[in-house]
């Protein structure tokens, strides 16, 4: 199986790309308390790191629509992974090398955000363009590796902190940097296929925005991002408050369990997708998501609420990759612009979801249960958008059927 000619290597490199994204998005937050205690960095500055990471990823989503087409997918993929390498190394060593430790951390976060943002836009169209038999299964399989990356970085980092001591976190940053370094070299050799229809030019942003069906998928991606991140970001706090456990156990019972179940969902769909209707399965999972948010919020039993947190991870697993698959099928020749905008709206939802949960919770005296019950609106909106997408697809297909007759 030649690396230079077999598309399975392209899929494998893209899967490692999503593991890389899981690392760069979740490693730094594990160290926020350490940054405060070791370097005396105020909480407001730590909050700025989170905001900056999100804002940069949105900017990358927006700029990549034109940038990637100019420099090419291979060059962009290799560059994305080197940004991640230098970002992780920067987080580990720049705080001690520069006069101001916060500046070093800031540089590391910026480089990681650029690498993660590019990876998010790149790997989906790269896999979509591969000559695979089942596109939606391949997309779900690909996205499962983000979940496994999150699980790995939380579980293995926690194990490292317990055994080697959290004071040695710099060497763990260097160890995690080996993953994107390997993948940067891997992407130098794997085949990269044309991401547009043969003999067709990918549409630009202006033309994309004129497609009514695109806005349906924009709503779908925002709903998917909000439903996923609203629970995953608050899962640790919920585990700590509901079960009264410390942060280490809270991280393992909350976001780690959520990510495991999300990965299981995506892997299961990839395996059984031939027997499932994607829109119908997405609607079913959105219904499960509504149920999980209700159980988390209203169950009198903490253990049942925790199980519902895992159920939520399973239910949101198909939303993001499923939305990308449906959009790629329905919006022809969307090219880089389509994937970049889907990532942008997904990220916008990912930012809005936990923020709204926090605001609603705060309005009710920091009652997290109230905030999470409000979040049921996100999977409901996803159901609406999937139904609208199905209706729009039927309308699009009618003229084609008349022409064939």
The whole-number pLDDT of residue 145 equals 94
Last-in-domain residue among 156, 191, 226:
191
Half-sphere exposure at residue 217, Cβ-oriented, CA atoms within 13 angstroms: 30
Rounded to two decimals, what is the model's pTM? 0.84
Per-residue confidence band for 334, with pLDDT thresholds at 50, 70 and 90: confident
Last-in-domain residue among 165, 191, 217:
191
The whole-number pLDDT of residue 190 equals 95
Best-predicted range by mean pLDDT (250-259, 271-280, 294-303): 271-280
Element (H, E) at 55: helix 43-71
Same domain membership, residue 183 and residue 252: no
Tokens of 167: 């004071």
- pLDDT tens per residue across span 178-232: 999 999 999 999 999 876 554 455 677 888 898 889 999 999 999 999 998 888 7
The whole-number pLDDT of residue 198 equals 46
Per-residue confidence band for 109, with pLDDT thresholds at 50, 70 and 90: very high
Residue 355 lies in a domain: yes
| Closest residue by Cα to residue 297 from 244, 237, 226, 375 | 375
Same domain membership, residue 240 and residue 186: no
Do 133 and 273 form a contact (C-beta atoms < 8 A)?
no
Same domain membership, residue 177 and residue 225: no
Per-residue confidence band for 404, with pLDDT thresholds at 50, 70 and 90: very low
The whole-number pLDDT of residue 401 equals 46
Residue 272 lies in a domain: yes
What average pLDDT does the chain have?
86
Residue 25 lies in a domain: yes
- pLDDT tens per residue across span 160-183: 988 998 889 999 999 999 999 999
Domain limits for position 390: 204-405
d(CA 371, CA 355): 10
- pLDDT tens per residue across span 200-213: 556 778 888 988 89
Domain count, the chain: 2
Residues 6 or more apart in contact with residue 272 via CB below 8 angstroms = none
d(CA 19, CA 13): 10
Residue 160 lies in a domain: yes
State the alpha helices, DSSP H only, in 72-100: 73-97
The number of beta carbons lying within 10 Å of the beta carbon of residue 285 is 23
């Amino acid at each position: 199986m030649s690396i230079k000619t077999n598309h399975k290597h392209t899929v494998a490199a893209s899967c490692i790309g999503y593991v890389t994204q899981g690392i760069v998005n979740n490693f730094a937050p594990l160290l926020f308390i350490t940054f405060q205690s070791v370097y005396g960095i105020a909480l407001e500055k730590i909050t700025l790191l989170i905001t900056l990471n999100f804002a940069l990823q949105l900017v990358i989503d927006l700029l990549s629509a034109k940038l990637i087409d100019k420099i090419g997918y291979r060059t962009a993929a290799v560059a994305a992974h080197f940004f991640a390498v230098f970002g992780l190394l920067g987080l580990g060593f720049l705080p001690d090398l520069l006069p101001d430790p916060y500046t070093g951390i800031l540089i590391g976060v910026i480089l990681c955000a650029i690498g993660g943002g590019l990876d998010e836009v790149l790997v989906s169209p790269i896999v979509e363009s591969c000559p695979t038999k089942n596109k939606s299964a391949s997309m779900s399989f690909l996205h499962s590796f983000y979940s496994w990356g999150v699980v790995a970085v939380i579980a293995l980092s926690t194990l490292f902190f317990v055994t080697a001591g959290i004071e040695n976190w710099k060497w763990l940053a260097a160890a995690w940097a080996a993953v994107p370094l390997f993948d940067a070299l891997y992407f130098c050799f794997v085949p990269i296929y044309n991401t547009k229809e043969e003999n067709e030019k990918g549409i630009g942003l202006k033309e994309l925005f004129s497609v009514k069906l695109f806005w349906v998928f924009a709503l779908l991606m925002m709903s998917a991002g909000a439903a996923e991140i609203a629970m995953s970001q608050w899962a640790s706090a919920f585990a700590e408050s509901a079960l009264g456990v410390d942060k280490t156990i809270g991280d393992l019972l909350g976001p780690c369990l959520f990510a495991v179940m999300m990965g299981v969902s995506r892997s299961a769909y990839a395996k059984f997708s031939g027997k499932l209707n994607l829109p119908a399965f997405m609607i079913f999972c959105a219904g499960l998501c509504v149920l999980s948010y209700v159980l988390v919020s209203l169950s009198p039993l903490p253990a049942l609420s925790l199980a519902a947190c895992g159920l939520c991870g399973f239910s949101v697993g198909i939303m993001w990759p499923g939305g990308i698959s449906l959009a790629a099928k329905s919006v022809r020749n969307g090219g880089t612009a389509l994937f970049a905008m889907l990532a942008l709206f997904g990220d916008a939802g990912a930012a809005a979801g936990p923020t709204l949960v926090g605001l609603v919770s705060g309005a009710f005296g920091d009652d997290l249960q109230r905030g999470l019950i409000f979040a049921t609106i996100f999977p409901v909106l996803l159901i609406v958008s999937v139904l609208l997408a199905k209706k729009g697809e039927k309308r699009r297909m009618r003229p084609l059927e008349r022409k064939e007759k």
